[in-house]
Structure 1
């Protein structure tokens, strides 16, 4: 009887099945694959998977060696000549890697964009404006899988004058488009003395890149480099002593979030939201004491927590830290804390929120990799 029910569904016209199942979230599709072979084939259909609604599925961690250090061999990019790799930007299912070609030198570097879901990767052409061996160059990947073209872009902040080595005044941007395969320069319109550094925090949504600056502003630019804006963060008005390293931005439910944990006030968390299409006013959305939530007081460096992401569809944020180096989810509606995973050696390596994308990379130079360069920390 159960098998006949499965056959009734799978015997429906193919176009109708695609229309129905493309509305099912990807996690539910994965569960349906366990019902039978026919359901497994149906729920694995690329035409369905590509259209399936996606949300945050977990976090990408750099796998590294047994001590959590970067792997000396590029396990996935086997045909590349790189010798050490490090992920440093991620956007809507794509990951940008910096690959050093020789283990003893950082002067020869490739930049690689990969899609873990489709196991595709492609190497970017050299940027003519970057100095050889500049490991502090700020590259940011942007990708919108809902767009018809499905092309990605990479932004490189072009320094004008370096300040204290790690900070520079941004004179403009070099923008790479996978559609044209070329880098183009766009002169900055953020105004004079706009500084960026390699610790820049960024989010991308609605066709706009949002990034933090050392003076606690959010600078924005569209994918074409035509619309430039600068927004003051709420921290600069309320707590002028807050530094860029303590501030964090994220995207959730159509709003831009600005967050901060005050280690001098019982690890107090403050969350502001900004409706980017509204009146451009920051609204204090939530406050809580991290120490009280975790039922212990701040008593040393191991009790520091770092904000790493906001859930795109829920009032939930994610942190790392604590005595055991945990990855933690905090539900702002219920004020419940959930430990997702003890990170141990992974606690100090790059970590990115991961939303699967099954859109094929559009560039003709794409190749396939066999093994992943990273681990996952999944949650339900």
Structure 2
């Protein structure tokens, strides 16, 4: 009896009950979905490592549904650098500066060659918003005609080709900016601010859901002025923020401080307002990080002091000085050298990092607002220390 009982127990262990087998089968069917949900929440840098586990993991980590939801980080900057064009000549061309060690890019080559094959000979990046790039493209034919192109470097898709609205007075000074929120990727808007010597009078807006341009009157001060391609711009919480560069009739407060303004307009073109910038921010820079607006300024002489403000109260426009630091002291320099100055180019959208360029050595540096540490990232080489476009890859589908 004991031998028979033991034999029956061994047989049960070899052949699980039907209920257990069904549960195991159900788990096997559910496992890929659970893995996709887990993998879609890990940083992409980890996702790249997981691809090396096996062929099955390679396929799973390459799933577009996983890539679209995977948290992204700052991959680098679109910028300009010198390129050989033959005959011993060089000219400015579009390049990409990869921030190696700061977060691996989702694409090894986020260049815009896929735009050039559409018949354009020159591509100028105007604004990168939410991982989507707005460019001005000149046609390859001998013509001054061009178009605005909205494209996604991560998926190498052209989302829209928009004829440039004409403004006979100051066409080259017009400022075009893109509004796109990767958290709500079903729609994008392109604003073109048409300028004359009297300021911005008219604004053209293209909405992807309507597929057409709409003309509207600017509700800012008639003297509002933007600096074309170099205009500082932040898109945050459905609102476009730009720095007013007009100083033809400068205002001063009772303490003698020059008053500078930031102008805003929402995606619908219904809410227009202006917010006073912090004092002494004449050569400053605005950006956003972790859902908050920042304004920065660095002195061009003396100790090259860096000052950083955060917009604490958006409704009242109240700025608070977050921190200050002497760049020369951080670098261990005894004094300011001739021709030495620093240009602020970007703020990291996910952490307390300010990016700046040292013009004398042509190096890219970062300043950590939490640790007060200044780090040298790399040398720029032939890259120009201006018009840097921060790039965070986005795998959103093209709005329909």
Quote how far apart the aligned CAs of 1:210 are.
Answer: 0.5
Quote how far apart the aligned CAs of 1:192 are.
Answer: 3.4
- In structure 2, runs of 5+ residues without a counterpart are 1-26, 85-89, 95-111, 247-259
Q: CA separation in 2, counterparts of 1:10 and 1:210? A: 50
Match of 2:189 in 1: 153
Q: Residues 130 and 330 of structure 1: is their aligned pair in 2 closer, same or farther, counting only changes over 3 Å?
A: same
Task: Tell me the secondary structure at the aligned position of residue 76 of structure 1.
Answer: helix
Task: Tell me the secondary structure at the aligned position of residue 317 of structure 2.
Answer: coil
Contact 1:254 1:275 in 2 (8 A): no
Match of 1:30 in 2: 48
Quote how far apart the aligned CAs of 1:189 are.
Answer: 1.7
Q: Residues 255 and 114 of structure 1: is their aligned pair in 2 closer, same or farther, counting only changes over 3 Å?
A: same
1:184 pairs with one of 214, 223, 239: 214
Contact 1:68 1:345 in 2 (8 A): no
**2:233 matches 1:196:** no
Match of 1:85 in 2: 123
Task: Tell me the secondary structure at the aligned position of residue 33 of structure 2.
Answer: helix
Contact 1:256 1:276 in 2 (8 A): no
Match of 2:83 in 1: 65
Q: CA separation in 1, counterparts of 2:303 and 2:122? A: 40
Q: How does 1:142-291 map to 2 (within 5 A)?
A: 142-147=179-184, 149=186, 151-159=187-195, 161-162=196-197, 169-198=199-228, 199-215=230-246, 216-235=260-279, 239=280, 243=282, 246-275=283-312, 277=314, 279-291=316-328
- In structure 1, runs of 5+ residues without a counterpart are 1-8, 163-167, 364-380
Match of 1:41 in 2: 59
**2:71 matches 1:53:** yes
Q: CA separation in 2, counterparts of 1:306 and 1:176? A: 32
Task: Tell me the secondary structure at the aligned position of residue 293 of structure 1.
Answer: helix
Q: CA separation in 2, counterparts of 1:193 and 1:136? A: 14
TM-score by length of 2: 0.78
Match of 2:368 in 1: 331
Q: CA separation in 2, counterparts of 1:11 and 1:273? A: 49
Quote how far apart the aligned CAs of 1:255 are.
Answer: 1.3
Quote how far apart the aligned CAs of 1:146 are.
Answer: 0.5
Q: Which 10-residue stretch deviates more, 288-297 or 265-274?
A: 288-297
Q: When the two structures are aligned, how many residues end up with a matched partner?
A: 337
Quote how far apart the aligned CAs of 1:342 are.
Answer: 0.9
Q: CA separation in 2, counterparts of 1:55 and 1:23? A: 13
Q: CA separation in 1, counterparts of 2:126 and 2:162? A: 18
What whole-Å deviation, never above 9, does each CA across 1:40-99 have from its counterpart, x for those lacking one?
21111111111112232222234651456226xx84324322222221211111112111
Contact 2:276 2:317 in 1 (8 A): no
Q: Residues 148 and 116 of structure 1: is their aligned pair in 2 closer, same or farther, counting only changes over 3 Å?
A: closer
Quote how far apart the aligned CAs of 1:360 are.
Answer: 2.0
Higher relative contact order by CA 8 Å / sep ≥ 6: 1 or 2?
Answer: 1
Quote how far apart the aligned CAs of 1:128 are.
Answer: 3.9
Contact 1:89 1:95 in 2 (8 A): yes
Contact 1:86 1:97 in 2 (8 A): yes
Q: CA separation in 2, counterparts of 1:75 and 1:355? A: 18
TM-score by length of 1: 0.81
Q: Residues 75 and 312 of structure 1: is their aligned pair in 2 closer, same or farther, counting only changes over 3 Å?
A: closer
Q: Residues 137 and 31 of structure 1: is their aligned pair in 2 closer, same or farther, counting only changes over 3 Å?
A: same
Contact 1:62 1:86 in 2 (8 A): no
- Over the residues paired in the alignment, what is the CA RMSD in angstroms? 2.5
Larger radius of gyration: 2
Q: CA separation in 2, counterparts of 1:272 and 1:113? A: 32
